[in-house]
Amino acid sequence: MRILGIESSCDETGVALVDASGDGVPRLLGHALHSQIEMHQAYGGVVPELASRDHIRRVLPLTDAVLAQAGCTLDDVDAIAHTRGPGLAGALLVGSGVAAALAFARGLPLIPVHHLEGHLLSPFLSVDPPEFPFVALLVSGGHTQLMRVDGVGRYALLGETIDDAAGEAFDKSAKLLGLPYPGGPALSRLAQQGDAAAYKFPRPLLHSGDLDFSFAGLKTAVLTQVKRLAHAAPEGPANAQLAVALSEAQKADVAASVQAAIVEVLVKKSLAALKATGLQRLVVAGGVGANALLRQQLNAECERRRVRVHYPELHLCTDNGAMIALAAGMRWRAGLVPPGASGHRFDVKPRWPLAELDAA
């Protein structure tokens, strides 16, 4: 059972092929990725229309590359999977349309996949895959959630952000510091040279007693601090230009301090979720899961509590096709793909809460 997966929800075109035969975790036979980061960098963020057009250019050449890597042709493919949502509507339509066309032309089943389920299951492709049940911390550019995961398709939401996602907090703070998009990796690199104790940024909802997050206030606190350092008058330069008045050392200190605030909240809430559920296993997934400080602090805290913590391979933390093919394979194995799935019809769901996955 070979499944071709296509991811196109945002600014990465990803294609992968997995072998979902047998009992173990589906095996990755090949995968290829094209990141649009360079293209969007000139605009300081993702331009949806440009993203869609670029997906159109990339998806078939990437598919050919993956099949060649795996030593296969389309004749060897048994099902086609695609990211149905959440994400940018136009971008989702490209991958989903191509997947549906391939499935229809070949008479193959079409398997729609939830992007966050892909992230959530991506650590199963690592050398040390997790076992169910576990607590999952899903931290991406658009989502920050804690889930209880009892099996494939059995996801219960424990808590989530009430405003910005953790990735957004990284990206918006980075923008205020004049760093290029996407801000997370750039900000964490700069933070290595800074003092995390230089500025005391708020840790929102840290003691709220629930498992929800809030990161919108952090952005305002960073803006206020950057303005103070830049001695900006109320009607002074636009926010994006403030950072030029800061020294490299000041920028590094702000970066280190904001990263420390975000990471502390993510770590403490993850530990609270483990305590509340009594589970001894944590899975971290999504782009922010690549953050070195987050990994370092979670590893230390989890080791102390004898909790096992699992991450995707670093190159599978951000968006990719492998996680989509994998999630389709695991759903197929679990009997969660409707038998009538066919390539005639598809839709996309730009907004799609993970907890509603099986009701869809």
Which residues are near ligand KG4 by CB under 6 A? 10, 119, 140-142, 167, 170-171, 182-185, 188, 286-288, 290-291, 318-319
Structure tokens at 213: 């997050």
Quote the least distance from Cβ 9 to Zn ion, whole Å: 7
13 binds, among Zn ion, ligand KG4, none (CB under 5 to 8 A by kind): none
Instruction: Label residue 54 exposed, middle or buried (CB < 10 Å: 0-12, 13-18, 19+).
Output: buried
Phi, psi dihedral angles at 146 (to 5 degrees):
-110, 125
For residue 41, which amino acid is it? Answer: Q
Helical spans, DSSP H, in 177-321: 183-191, 216-229, 248-277, 292-304
Q: Which does 291 bind (CB under 5 to 8 A by kind): ligand KG4, Zn ion, none?
A: ligand KG4
Contact call for residues 283 and 307 (beta carbons, < 8 A): no
Shortest gap between Cβ of 251 and ligand KG4 (angstroms)?
A: 16
Residue placing its CB nearer to ligand KG4 in the complex, 184 or 343: 184
Q: How far is the CB of 83 from Zn ion (least distance, A)?
A: 9
HSE, CB side, 13 Å, CA atoms: give it for residue 9: 29
Binding-site string for Zn ion from residue 107 to residue 146, where x marks contact by CB under 5 A and - marks none: ---------------------------------x------
Nearer CB in complex with ligand KG4: 50/230: 50
The set of residues, in sequence order, having a beta carbon less than 8 Å from that of 276 and lying 6+ positions away, is 158, 211
When the beta carbons of 229 and 324 are compared against Zn ion, the nearer one is: 324
CA distance 196 to 338: 50
Binds Zn ion by CB under 5 A, chosen from 319, 324, 333, 352: 319
Count CB-CB contacts under 10 A for residue 352: 18
Residues binding Zn ion: number (CB under 5 A): 2
Whole-number minimum distance, CB 286 to ligand KG4, in Å? 4
Q: Phi-psi bin for 71: left (phi > 0), alpha (psi -120 to 50), beta? A: left
Q: Considering beta carbons, is residue 67 or 140 the nearer one to ligand KG4?
A: 140
Least separation, in Å, of the C-beta of 98 and Zn ion? 19
Q: How far is the CB of 145 from Zn ion (least distance, A)?
A: 12
Closest C-alpha to 21, from 359, 336, 333: 333
Q: Which is nearer to ligand KG4, 126 or 342 (CB)?
A: 126
Out of Zn ion, ligand KG4, none, what residue 188 binds, judged by CB under 5 to 8 A for its kind, is: ligand KG4
Give which of Zn ion, ligand KG4, none residue 182 binds (C-beta under 5 to 8 Å, depending on kind). Answer: ligand KG4
Decide which of ligand KG4, Zn ion, none touches 112; Cβ closer than 5 to 8 Å per partner kind. Answer: none
**Cβ of residue 143: shortest distance to Zn ion, in angstroms?**
8
Distance separating alpha carbons of residues 268 and 204, to the nearest angstrom = 12
**CA–CA gap between residue 57 and residue 13 (Å, rounded):** 10
Which residue number, 185 or 343, has a Cβ lying nearer to ligand KG4? Answer: 185
- Which residues does 266 contact at the CB level (< 8 Å), separation at least 6? 137, 139, 144, 166, 213, 288, 294
Q: Which residues of the shown chain bind Zn ion in the complex (CB under 5 A)?
A: 140, 319
